[in-house]
Amino acid sequence: MSERLRANAIRRAYTIEDLRQAAKNTLPKGVFDFYDGAAEDEDTLKNNALAFKKQLWRPHVLRDVSKVDPSGEVFGSKIGLPLAIGPTGGAGFGHPLADLALAKAAAQFNIPYCLSTSATTSIERLAEHAPGRLWFQAYVLSDQVHFWKLQERALSAGYEALMITVDLAVGGKRVKDHHNHFSLPFRFSDRNLIDMLSRPRWLFRMMRHGFPVMENLVGANAPKASAMKSLSGLGSSVGKNYDPSFDFDRLKEVRERWPKKLIVKGVQRGDDAAKLVELGVDLIVVSNHGGRQLDGAQASLEVLPEVLASVAGRVPVWVDGGIRHGGDMAKALSLGASGVLSGRATLYGAVAAAHEGAHQALSILSDEFLRTMQLCGVCRAKEFQRDLLQKQI
Ligand SMILES: Cc1cc2nc3c(=O)[nH]c(=O)nc-3n(C[C@H](O)[C@H](O)[C@H](O)COP(=O)(O)O)c2cc1C
């Protein structure tokens, strides 16, 4: 299929599932599975999606919904939708321009974009080429010097907020990656080479742009081989550079050193959330990393009420995990979230077709969100309320 035909197919994509299929048809299996897959039996991945399906609408009718306002708000200023694009590392293995495409699409929709530590575009390169509200997600690296340096670089490059992800003390057990011989940093093997040769267009693009590198990790000291194994002795393809000793005290130090907005992502309990509020965090994201870390964890949507009760309005609480429809965004807001992060929903588009794909993903989510507002009789995104939903038992 020519690039033009592919771009047309992306523009015609009507759902996030259409974009997922486009990514599947474009990428080697190992690369697609890295994005699509999750930890162990992928139960939490399924739980996240199911939790949205179990919430059923009780819409209002006979309201004037000829004009609706889908905008949201974060850190005191308006955003186009109550949505930000969450951090997804390694996007460049799908398409070399994926990070930039996501950031540019986010700017077009006036929503924030969060760059991952393991992105294949550096902090500075992204800030230089992508306008808009940028957040930087820092993994807690075992190389502490590099960890602090990344934060200084994000500050100098003008990023609005720092996001610390806390659900990754060690890497999750990604069974598909293991079977596909997929790891980051990428290493060639017989199996993944045959897989890559099955997608010559993808391979040609990679060769033209140069094989992607996790640019923010260049210069970071790798931990000793022994530290790269989990306590069980079995290595994981992710989380090799991370520091499992990071705790609340160390987070306090981050809070003291980072002068701008601080977001903590990966919270799954009310008591932890309360401690974070006391520590001075500005925004909490309820998340289980899209099921990629602890398999068997509750769906993030199910945890949201406990976290909200514990936080009691002191800081905004956002949620991610399983959002594939604009209606899912609306359900999260109805249950009390101030906003949501997209993960795979926007990633599928960006890795299938960079700019067209990222833009189309946001167009789909935005269109569905607006439609849900109108069909629920809600004129402003802030008006989504708990009583619009009934949980199916
Ligand atoms: C391929 C991939 C890479 C990810 N990389 C990161 C990352 O670097 N940092 C992070 O905090 N979360 C990362 N996540 C988790 C997402 O930010 C988000 O929490 C998750 O994708 C939400 O679930 P969903 O994809 O089902 O919407 C990644 C997720 C995927 C799918």
Question: CA-to-CA distance for 4 and 353, rounded, in angstroms?
Answer: 11
Low-confidence ranges of the chain (pLDDT < 50): 225-235
Backbone angles phi, psi at 229, to 5 degrees: -95, 150
Using CA positions, which residue lies closest to atom 13 of ligand 1?
A: 88
- How many helices (H) and strands (E) the chain has is answered by 15, 12
Give pLDDT, residue 235: 46
Contact 37, 177 (CB under 8 A): yes
Ligand 1 cavity residues, CB under 6 Å: 35, 48, 86-90, 116, 118, 137, 165, 265, 287, 289-290, 292, 320-323, 342-345, 347
Cα of 126 from ligand 1 centre, angstroms: 18
pTM for this model (two decimals) = 0.96
Out of 95, 181, 289, 359, pick the active-site residue: 289
Known catalytic residue at 289: yes
**Residue whose CA is at the smallest distance from ligand 1 atom 5:** 88
Cα 90 to ligand 1 centre (Å):
10
CA distances from 79 to 102, 304, 333 (A): 16, 22, 15
As given in the structure block, the two tokens for residue 152 are 């200084």
Ligand 1 closest atom vs CA 48: 26
Q: Are 65 and 371 in contact (CB under 8 A)?
A: no
CA 345 to ligand 1 centroid distance, Å: 10
CA distance 19 to 34: 16
According to DSSP, the residues that pair with 261 across neighbouring strands are 161
The closest-lying atom of ligand 1 relative to the alpha carbon of residue 86 is 17
Which residue is it, tokens 């009718």? 61
Ligand 1 atom having least distance to the Cα of 320: 22
Q: How far apart are CA 242 and CA 168, in angstroms?
A: 8
Domains and CATH numbers, the chain: 3-388 (3.20.20.70)
First to last CA, the chain: 46
Q: Please give the distance, rounded to the nearest whole angstrom, from the Cα atom of residue 32 to the centre of ligand 1.
A: 14
Q: Which residues pair with 137 in a beta bridge?
A: 116, 163
